Amino acid sequence: MSEATTAPKAVEGPLTFLDDRLGSTGFLKRNVKKVFPDHWSFMLGEIALYSFIILLLTGTFLTLWFKPSMIEVVYDGSYTKLNGVKMSEAYASTLHISFDVRGGLLMRQIHHWAALLFMASILAHMLRIFFTGAYRKPRELNWLIGITMFILGMLEGLFGYSLPDDLLSGTGLRITQGVAEALPLVGTYVYMFLFGGEFPGQDIVPRLFTLHVLLIPGVILGLVTAHMMIMWHQKHTSMPVKNQTEEQVYGYPFYPVFMAKTGAYFLFTFGVLALLATFAQINPIWLFGPYDPGAISSASQPDWYMGVLEGSLRIMPNWEITAWGHTLSLNVLIPAAVPLGIIFTGAMLWPFIEQWVTGDKRLHHVNDRPRNAPVRTAVGIAAVTFYGLLWLAGANDVLAERFHVSLFATTWFFRVAFFVAPVLAYIITKRICLGLQRKDADTIGHGVESGVIVMSPDGKFSERHEPARDEERVTILSKENARPEAPAVDANGVPAPGTKGPLGHLRSRLNRAWTFDDVPVEEHGHGEEHGEVESGGERKQITRH
């Protein structure tokens, strides 16, 4: 028998000191084997976390050389095409990072690509959560935290690509100034407070730098920490698979499986961003030149996540209202506030609206398949269509030029599609979901085609159907059939709580709309095989026990 190994005193002493005061050993024993369900879509949130870490690392590097100053200097650096040109210190220092600092351009491009990936992965992660119903009780708080992080990410990105003070970022700041000035009554004061005077002023870049480097990253870091702590406490949701129930978590332990996988995926993400930064040029500010209020470049586009605001501005008619000595610029105010207001406010309220409509206040740890919640899925696709059309409208000039159509026709197409396409997307998506539900019901009720043709004694041919595989059957049967709505009155004629008044009638109608087309998916006995017989123009169903 071998003797038990003990840690050296130099190690054991500090560990004992910490454990006596922090209880770290007990915490690790309880949590090191914590189970994490495994599904490819769960990687979307992890990619957002990896991108954020890379943003912090590369941003720290860039901070060492960037000068957040609007003081005018004359450039005399390695990029000779701009030698002798007057520019701000912010723009000159960005050129210095790109051409004179070892690895500076690589870090700039990794930082920018990581920002795009961060926003894309958050959006994809939120869509996965929405379509699978992972925001339901008890995870509403984490859903709100995720939406808040996306909004802060949009602001962080806007402030970040505005710092270099090049022509493209200056154009974006000009739009920001216009949106601030369009606010009723207080717009001018907000604009002057933000810019420190007339546009562009001397204060905007230093203020954006402080927000971009200190305030917003600190808030996002705090939200990420809270998000992870809540997730750790509540446990991760899981997909409907064999052995997984609402009461039992089925997956891999945190150590060593999950730790090894997440470490490898972080390196993969870092590698992909490094390759993109090396071979795919992004934001070449030296081609744009320093900001000049009298100049603008063709096909100027913001980063993709701000494209929805750009598109809404481009398709909005030139509406203004003048009353009592004040001008209300609806052509700026509505595009800046209404589209994203609809999307983000609707997303934040949705978990509570769904709970109110369905009356479902249970704890949910197993996700839905999108097809099994057709109303939710259809609403989600309608929102994606709404968002995507506005994003495309932000490039209406590019689309008109590339497809050789008039800019006028392109703009009017998006104005009409803005209202029509989300409705069509809702209807089509819901019908697809119901069709997939019927397919699942048929699979459970009649089995799957085996490819084996048998002949009956009377000479008729039929294909033998086999029961669905266990994994497929468990996944299909994870659907919860719609529960009947509670009666409006009890046996004594007393109205049920929540059914009286306009809100009660509205809730009842929404509940019926939610469950009206539900397709029941139920198992009809065990060991049955169903098939379809087709012979001599006749078609009938056979069941073999």
pLDDT, tens digit, 9 for 90 and up, residues 271-303: 999 999 999 999 999 999 998 887 777 677 888
The residue assigned the tokens 């051409």 is: 99
| pLDDT at residue 388 is higher than 90 | yes
pTM of the model: 0.88
Please state the rounded mean pLDDT for residues 168-189. 87
HSE (side-chain half, CA atoms, 13 Å) at 462: 20
Contact yes or no for 70/165 (Cβ under 8 A):
yes
Check residue 2 and give its pLDDT: 44
Give the pLDDT of residue 497: 63
User: Please, are residues 12 and 6 in contact by the beta-carbon 8 Å criterion?
Assistant: yes
**Which are the contacts of 213, defined by CB distance < 8 A and separation ≥ 6?**
59, 63
**What pLDDT does 485 receive?**
64
Distance CA 289, CA 284 (A): 9
CB contact at 8 A, 447 and 466:
yes
**Max avg pLDDT among 193-207, 289-303, 493-507:** 193-207
**Contact in structure between 37 and 236 (CB atoms under 8 Å):** yes
pLDDT score of 6 more than 80: no
Query: In which residue are the tokens 């008729």 written?
Result: 460
Cis peptide before 487, with omega less than 30 degrees from 0? no
- Residue 527 binned pLDDT confidence (cut-offs 50, 70, 90): very low
Helices and strands counted in the chain (H then E): 19, 10
If you search the block for the tokens 């069709």, which residue do you land on? 435
CA distance 233 to 212: 31
Handedness of CA 18, 23, 29, 33 (dihedral sign): negative
Helix, strand, coil share of the chain (percent; to 5): 60, 10, 30
Q: Exposed/middle/buried for 207, CB within 10 Å: 0-12, 13-18, 19+?
A: middle
What is the mean predicted confidence (pLDDT) over 330-355?
92
- Cβ–Cβ < 8 Å for 462, 534: yes
Tokens 């690895």 appear where? 103
Q: How far apart are CA 279 and CA 9, in angstroms?
A: 51
CB of 202 closer than 8 Å to CB of 1: no
pLDDT at 217 > cutoff 90: yes
Longest dimension (CA), the chain: 97
Instruction: Please write down the long-range contacts of 222-229, taking CB distance under 8 Å and 24 or more positions apart.
Output: 223/145, 223/148, 223/149, 223/152, 224/49, 224/52, 224/149, 226/145, 227/142, 227/145, 227/146, 227/149
Distance separating alpha carbons of residues 217 and 215, to the nearest angstrom: 6
Terminal CA-to-CA distance of the chain, rounded, Å?
59
320 pLDDT band, cuts 50/70/90, is confident
CA dihedral 391, 394, 395, 397 (to 10 degrees): 150
Backbone phi, psi, residue 406, to 5°: -75, 145
